[in-house]
Amino acid sequence: MFDSISLIGKTTREIVELLAPHVDRTFRGQQVARWVIDRNAASFAEMTDLPKTSREELALRFSLDEPRVLESIASSDGSRKYLFGLSDEVTVEGVTMREGAKATFCLSSQAGCAVGCTFCVTGALGAGRNLRPDEMVGQYRVMLRALDPEIERVNLVFMGMGEPLLNASNLGQALDVLSERVSLKRITVSTAGIIPGIHWLAGLSRRPKLAVSLNAPDQARRVQIMPIAHRYPLAELMAELRAFPLERGRRITFEYVLIRGFNDSAADARATAKLIRGIPAKVNVIPLNEDADHFPALLRPENEIVNRFAIQLRDAGLTVTVRWSRGEDVAAACGQLRGRQLAAR
């Protein structure tokens, strides 16, 4: 008996090559690839334009295994949090957030995170293994299948559990597969500032959008809340970002988590604007998602402070959005649902 090979996480070309010895006609591989990638089929039985005998034989040799939904919780604001179980009993999270006819899927790239940002529950839970391409693509497939049919466009962000650029090889394969269905213009990879990973991303012939978690305008404070800055100092990170190749109309997104009394002053806003000046950029100002269990001393600023900070950045000539928390009632911040599950155990 042989182990079945998963077709999830494979590109059209790879599926066609894998199936070539097992189909009666050359176009069958293309048919299967369309069902897997374009139609998001969950089983070979759905592939009704293939002969029944072919479907049965393919089901013996290949699989369409996906992460299992262990928990799915809808928020009052329209977002939904998923806890996925993988084949080795590891758990990861995914989130869908709806805005009108558009939805954004937040995907995990690792089952934990070794970067250790002090304001992130995933970092507090510690490191976990890299996810395979099929496990990353599988999150998208499961959440897509549950999507409201009224949604017209889906954006993808690798801002879930893990540091995507510490799993670059698997991430690259997942991007190749996902970009057959979702334009790379609508896929964002977020990093804590892994300079070799950013350099790798810059070298790709086709790139997703880049987001960088900044969170402080100076090295001293960035190190306090983002230990990875010891290895990849702010000055070197900014030099790498200034050299990053951007397609026409593209910008680097800087994510700035506001923590009360730490990085939310008027002087911090001025210093941040000065740091970013000259880079085609937009800034996502993110009020801290508080978590009394994992970082009780860190608090969210008052809304007035958040708005003042954003206005100061805007007045300095930057494009700014405030990313108010979504799904607080379902623990939608990165790692919170998994953290609560582990605590319950």
Catalytic site positions: 93, 334
Q: How far apart are CA 136 and CA 111, in angstroms?
A: 11
Q: Which residues contact 313 (CB under 8 A, 6 or more apart)?
A: 269, 272, 273, 283, 285, 320
Q: Which of 167, 149, 133, 151 is nearest to 37 (CA)?
A: 133
CB 252 within 8 A of CB 241: yes
Classify burial at 297, counting beta carbons within 10 Å of its beta carbon; exposed 0-12, middle 13-18, buried 19 or more.
exposed
Hey, what long-range contacts does 337-341 have (CB within 8 A, 24 or more apart)? Answer: 337/71, 337/73, 337/81, 337/83, 337/93, 338/83, 338/91, 338/92, 338/93, 338/121, 338/122, 338/125, 338/161, 339/121, 339/124, 339/125, 339/291, 339/293, 339/294, 341/71, 341/83, 341/91
